[in-house]
Amino acid sequence: MNKIKENISSSSCAIIMSMKYAKANSKAWDWEAEHGSGWAKIVDEEKIRKAKDGHPEICVTVNKTVPEAWLLPLKGRHVLSLGGGGGQQTPTLAAFGCDTESADISHVMIERDNEALRCYGLEARTHIMDMNDLSEFPEKSFDAVISPVSMNFIEDVSIVFGEVSRILKPNGTFIFGIANPALYMFDDDKLAEGKMKVKYTLPFADPVSLSKKELRKRLKRKDTIEYSHTLESIIGGLTAKGFVINGFYSDGSDFEPIDSFLHDCYLAFRAIRIDNQ
């Protein structure tokens, strides 16, 4: 009986800590958006014009745009921008002609979306929401989900993959970017000096890989809490939730010391939901 109580207590503690770090990431992205993050700069008028002309330009990694061939079939479809607040993906999809919704954990990032929509006279529905829980959306309600590099702020990607699988229609499209796990091996302080030094074992997780003192400092600075994940959890996690990968590319980090060492810094996937899992 004591063992059962210990297991329940441990599980409850893990859930509480997970919620704590999700809240920390919400505040961190509020801070990032208010202090000039590139992901919170409202898309310019030229890109809105291109989207209206049938040539949408969207990034789910740092530099490269998603291949147009991935996006063209989504015109007129019901599309969710997941973890993509910031005034970029959402207004672009709306301008392209998608029936667009946006879900992000950050209030300020969602306000950037709303600001961009007002600026360009576009319509989309926005939600402040943790991507671990998309229960507000009915099953099989979206034709596509697009998520720019946000999975690394989630402890367990299988939960998100499961939620995306649930809300996608059969043959629905899932496009997302994620950091190469290898990026998390390096010492952040040394990287800031332009030096590469391997410091951490993988998989990396801020709450586990950092000392309690380092973690407290990170939270105090309003830094994001991040997780590296493994290729098995990313690729195997997708297939376990009923997805077939039918598109892939990699991207650099836009930071020369890393790019000179590791070409595939960010990974972008296109996957199709093929069953009812």
Q: Using one digit for the tens of pLDDT, what is the confidence trace for 233-257?
A: 999 999 999 999 999 999 999 888 8
Name the residue type at position 6.
Answer: E
* For residues 87-103, average pLDDT: 98
* For residues 101-109, average pLDDT: 98
Residue 5's pLDDT is what?
Answer: 47
What total number of domains does the chain contain?
1
Q: What is the CATH number of the domain that holds 32?
A: 3.40.50.150
Q: Using one digit for the tens of pLDDT, what is the confidence trace for 113-146?
A: 999 999 999 999 999 999 999 999 999 999 999 9
* For residues 182-188, average pLDDT: 91
Range of weakest confidence among 14-18, 29-33, 52-56, 73-77: 14-18
Q: How much is the mean pLDDT over the chain?
A: 93
Residue 190's pLDDT is what?
Answer: 86
How many residues are given for the chain? 277
Distance CA(91)–CA(101), nearest Å, equals: 10
192: Cβ–Cβ under 8 A, 6 or more apart, which residues?
A: none
Is the pLDDT at 50 greater than 90? The verdict is yes
Containing structural domain, residue 153: 2-273
Residue 84's pLDDT is what?
Answer: 94
Nearest to 27 by CA among 97, 99, 101, 128: 128
Residues 176, 268 contacting (CB under 8 angstroms): yes
Instruction: Report the percentage of the chain scoring pLDDT > 70.
Output: 93
E strand or H helix at 17, and its extent? helix 2-34
* For residues 63-90, average pLDDT: 98
Residue 10's pLDDT is what?
Answer: 46
User: Given pLDDT bands bounded at 50, 70 and 90, which one contains residue 8?
Assistant: very low
Residue 1's pLDDT is what?
Answer: 54
Peptide bond just before 203 cis, omega within 30 deg? yes
Report phi then psi at 197, rounded to 5: -140, 120
Sheet holding 78-82, edge to edge: 125-128, 99-104, 78-82, 142-147, 168-179, 266-273, 243-251
User: What DSSP state is assigned to residue 102?
Assistant: E
Structure tokens at 277: 């899992």
Please report how many Cα atoms fall inside a 13 Å half-sphere around the Cα of residue 215, on the Cβ side.
Answer: 14
Is the pLDDT at 6 greater than 60? The verdict is no
